[in-house]
Amino acid sequence: MKIGVAGIGTVGVGVIKILEQHGQLLSDRCGQDLEITAVSGRDRRKDRGVSLDGMTWYDNAVDMASDPNVDLVVELIGGSDGVANDLCRAALKAGKSVVTANKALIAVHGTELATLAEDKGISLNYEAAVAGGIPIVKAMREGLAGNAISRVYGILNGTCNYILTEMEETGGDFDAILSDAQALGYAEADPSFDVDGVDAAHKLAILTSLAFGTPVDFDSVYIEGIREISALDIAFAKEFGFRIRLLGVARKTEKGIEQRVHPCMVKKDTPIANVSGVFNAVVAEGDFVDNTVYEGRGAGEGPTASAVVADIMDIAAGRTCPTFGIPVRKMIDIPKVAVEEHVGCYYVRLNVFDRPGVIADISAVFRDEEISIESLLQRGRSPEEAVSVVLTTHEVKEAAIVKALAKIEKFDHSVGTPRMIRIAKL
């Protein structure tokens, strides 16, 4: 099988290394020799530490799709549009299977690309797009095919997980830990996609489609990042027996599907709470298999390249499957449930001046919105300086919590914006 690789950065180089080092093993396992015959990158003269001898170089990656010496295209460029999208469409229209690690592309255009692939009877594989080296796409699409999935959730971004883990272990604030993560190469110079939850949301949109057989709908994902998580929240979480993790959660309810990415408080004794550092983890809940947990490295040259090569080998061996587990024509548009409809427990932190009647006023607002307080904690006593009042609630609709906090924020004795973190029932 002759392969064209578009994008020979970290992951592309990793793919070349695996094919060089394990060529015979891969051939034995998939029944064909795998040969990279064409490549495309930004700078032809750059030393990447691997040999590109004998490979046709394309300045315009899209031209690779029409090369008769390329049977399969691997897209590692990134981005939901532009060259990456153009290349994948051109390759699929030319009858060539595509392997991609591009979560943004699949999250935004996955349904359209899947239609092109299925119309041509070829494959669109994207294992590396979700959770790096964890084979969660194959697990959802094949290993759990005998189950109806009720919920899939997990830690889908290693940068955020590293930052939250370090904040807990060192007591440091977000900005300081982010700077450390950038220095170590765990966070980009512009970390917005990671810390604002967009990267995790791309992956969650894909998992939602795999789990529930619905077209990919990235625009319906509620997204909230970790910039507002403070060392104080981390400390209070510890007191209540929680850890804070950025989770992506997709859940099927009577009203439709919830798709949300946001910080969660999770009990310390749950598997997901004990996933630390740059690791990812995904939990899938099936009706016959119960809970299955998948954990591993979610990024990096080795894990991501490993997933790309596994996809290539499936195609070389003739192992095919509908892109999202069921044919696109059989997908069902299931309504998406707004986050305001979510029912759960909440952690709330208020900054208030400690004056007579303050707690009574807060309690009255919660009473009026029919919110039941489970526990309340106040530290410090100073009428002149704001102190933290922290509480957790019993289950309530999110719209009620939002309304209550908006009222409390307007109080004369309230300082700043109240903080709310959802408590995950796992």
The full DSSP string for 77-118 is --SSSTHHHHHHHHHHHTT-EEEE--HHHHHHHHHHHHHHHH
CATH architecture observed for domain 136-297+324-339: 2-Layer Sandwich (3.30)
- Rounded to a whole number of angstroms, the CA Rg of the chain reads 24
pLDDT block averages, 10 residues each, the chain of length 426: 96 96 96 96 89 94 96 96 96 98 97 97 97 94 96 96 96 94 89 96 98 96 96 94 97 95 96 94 96 91 94 96 95 94 95 85 94 87 78 96 95 89 94
Cβ 92 vs Cβ 116: under 8 Å: yes
Report the length, in residues, of the chain.
426
Domain boundaries, the chain: 2-129, 136-297+324-339, 342-423
Triad 339, 342, 348: Cα angle to 5°: 90
- How many other CB atoms are found less than 10 A from the CB of residue 12? 27
The residue among 180, 123, 169, 115 whose CA lies nearest residue 328 is 115
- The structure's pTM equals 0.94
Three-class secondary structure of residue 258 per DSSP:
strand
Give the per-residue pLDDT at 381: 65
The residue among 58, 61, 56 whose CA lies nearest residue 79 is 61
Question: What b-and-e string marks burial along 261-292, b requiring 16 or more CB atoms within 10 Å of the CB?
Answer: bbbbbbeeebebbebbebbbbbbbbbeeeeeb
| Residue partners of 30: CB distance under 8 A and separation at least 6 | 313, 314, 316, 317
CATH architecture observed for domain 342-423: 2-Layer Sandwich (3.30)
The residue among 95, 73, 72, 70 whose CA lies nearest residue 85 is 73
Listed in sequence order, the DSSP H helices in 185-320 are 192-195, 198-212, 231-239, 301-316
203 counts as catalytic:
yes
The number of angstroms, rounded, from the C-alpha of 197 to the middle of its chain's C-alpha atoms is 8
The residue among 245, 240, 197, 190 whose CA lies nearest residue 221 is 197
Indicate which residue of 96, 103, 138, 203 is catalytic: 203
Cβ 61 vs Cβ 74: under 8 Å: no
Give the per-residue pLDDT at 299: 84
Residues facing 2 on adjacent strands:
35
From residue 323, alpha-carbon distances to 210, 239, 294 in Å are 9, 45, 21
CATH fold of 2-129? Rossmann fold (3.40.50)
From residue 327, alpha-carbon distances to 8, 96, 209, 216, 320 in Å are 32, 18, 12, 13, 12
C-alpha 53/C-alpha 55 separation (Å) is 6
